[in-house]
Amino acid sequence: MNPIEADATSAVVESHDISKIEPLNWWVGFKNQTLQLLVHHQNISAFTPEISYQGISIEKVHKADSSNYLFIDLNISEVTKAGKFNIVFKQDGKNDLIQTYELKSRLKDSKDYIGFDSSDAVYLITPDRFANGNPENDIAKTLNETTIDRSDNYARHGGDIQGITNHLDYIEDLGFTAIWPCPLLTNDMQQSSYHGYAMTDFYEIDPRFGTLEEYKTLSSKMSEKGMKLIMDQVANHCGLEHWWMKDLPFKNWINHQENYESNSENWDNSKSITTNHRRTTNQDIYASKIDKENMSEGWFVSSMPDLNQRNPFMATYTIQNSIWWIETANLGGIRQDTYPYPDKNFMSHWAGAIMAEYPNFSIVGEEWTTNPLLIAYWQQGNPNKDGYNSNLKSPMDFAMQEKIASGLNRDEAWDSGLIEIYQALANDFIYVKPKDIMVFPDNHDMSRIFTQLKGDIPNTKMALSYLLMLPRIPQIYYGTEILMNDFDKPGDHGLVRSDFPGGWRGDKVNAFTGIGLSDKEKDMQTFLKTVLNYRKNSKAIHDGKTIHFAPDNNIYVLFRSLGDETVAHIMNKNDTTVELDLSKFKELGLEGKTVKNLISGEQFLWHNGMLTLKDRGSVILTTKL
């Protein structure tokens, strides 16, 4: 259909007759000039849409299997101006339905959306458990779960977006440059809606977390501080209570849809066809067809319908949703959940479409594997034998995480202890770009690092300082800085995601101010703050050359060097005083240079003699005084 040419700046009489149209708005000035609108309204397929707005043409209208949907393909030409216009839906003998739609001006060019990289340190937050900035939004009576109970680790506790915004100074002061909150979109589930991973509306902030404006305010205040907001997104699944589950547009909108529709009246775990979780089928040259299908098409859990990205309308919907949030919230990155579970060709298309529009953006994908070969497979540019290119800048380094914990927990031997960590880093030869991989001591889905390391503070400090020295993008989970733990029930998700002390009115302990913290907790907070703030301005750590020396005498030493800055990281597992022979490291050219102990502030002249190590733990030395 050719548009009826009209003045783009002429006034529009606004009308909103349509139940739902997504994306909620769009922008002019994208490289990709196409837009597909999802329209949901009673019997809308009987209507014909028309648009009269200069620069916009309706290319095609698609009817779905449900008569309550239309998918409208628009072309937005280069001359199109920002503004509002009406989409008129016509049917003989019926009144017109009119929906006002808006094309906005973009706030900045695509190239100016700068993602996270190895110069950043990411603070991961479970929003419901961090800080309750606005108790007025704790309960939304229109939603299914309408209780707050801080004594129940699987109930909602009331943390919200305002709570994060209120404490940006604390996070910045610690030395973090980016924040990754777990999902903040509406999860209108019956229970355990607090974690955010069962979305029931991909375009709505959960009212118990706040409003879209509060989310945008968080982003803008972070931008003022030079910080980046990373959005946690889920392409693989939605929540069972998602609005479209009552009226699915196509017969193949979700995987195993026929099974669900046949059993929806008495749905439970026994009816669900769940994934086999055999993620290696994505790479396995011997994998059977049934194993591959079970992996990518099975539901993650029975309460999370598996989205079918092989449906081209679902694919477009998902890509547009990600772009909508990048533009709306001025994002500094996306973290994509359960990365290997959706159709892998779609995930390449999804990431590629985003990176084509935003060439300096960043996406990190969750692939929970301790096999470096699989991590490497998912990184953009890896020479995969099957020709697959993920377009994904940053996979996650679960392999390194496991070896750091294991190497510190196990006794020193030929094949255990620090050698495990050394060999884990030696695996970097397999990666296209190691410094774009995200490393972490723990996260919201695993036991906290202090628990993993059996409450051993020197080992915890070694784990944290080591990973902060690596050619990687580091992510730290909230509360790690004050030794939060899950000793009472190791690995229990509700306990791992405990409330941050001081985030609620009346908390007797306040980690934001230090009130009520033990000396050990304050010491860890200071330690991490010192290392992070040094790292923030260290070009050697961000981009420098890495040299490490095989562990010897229970000591492992790693160097990062760039220009006149060299950082030495020493991991010492000896319980008694030992001497470290510095002549072993003469290839670094440090002889006669002054170095500073990052933690103690002590300075000394490096000479190729002995360095006394009195205490078990980490020592960080730098030539940057």
pLDDT category at 2 given cuts 50, 70, 90 is very low
pLDDT at 608: 85
| Angle in degrees, 0-180, between the axes of helices 457-469 and 519-536, rounded to the nearest 10 | 10
Active site residue 337: yes
Q: Does the pLDDT value for residue 565 go beyond 50?
A: yes
As a whole number, mean pLDDT of residues 573-581 equals 97
Query: Which residue, among 445, 434, 447, has the nearest Cα to 400 in the 3D structure?
Result: 434
pLDDT at 11: 80
pLDDT digits (tens, 9 = 90+) for 515-542: 999 999 999 999 999 999 999 999 999 9
Starting at the earlier edge strand, list the strands of the sheet with 545-552.
Answer: 545-552, 555-562, 565-572, 617-622, 594-597, 603-605
Query: Which residue, among 412, 434, 503, has the nearest Cα to 163 in the 3D structure?
Result: 503
Residues sharing a CB contact under 8 Å with residue 305, sequence separation 6 or more, in sequence order? 237, 238, 239, 240, 242, 245, 254, 255, 260, 299
Sort strands 26-27 and 97-104 into parallel, antiparallel or unpaired: parallel
As a whole number, mean pLDDT of residues 301-328 equals 98
Contact (CB, 8 A) for 375 and 395: yes
Active site residue 366: yes
Catalytic residue among 145, 241, 357, 366: 366
Q: What rounded mean pLDDT belongs to the chain?
A: 97
Contact (CB, 8 A) for 543 and 118: yes
pLDDT at 616: 98
Write a three-state SS string for 62-75. Answer: EECCCCCEEEEEEE
Q: Does the pLDDT value for residue 8 go beyond 80?
A: no
As a whole number, mean pLDDT of residues 174-199 equals 97
pLDDT at 397: 98
Query: Which residue, among 92, 82, 88, 54, has the nearest Cα to 70 in the 3D structure?
Result: 88
pLDDT category at 62 given cuts 50, 70, 90 is very high
pLDDT digits (tens, 9 = 90+) for 145-162: 999 999 999 999 999 999
pLDDT at 10: 60
Contact (CB, 8 A) for 582 and 605: no
Catalytic residue among 172, 214, 337, 481: 337
pLDDT digits (tens, 9 = 90+) for 354-405: 999 999 999 999 999 999 999 999 999 999 999 999 999 999 999 999 999 9
User: Which residue type is seen at 329?
Assistant: A
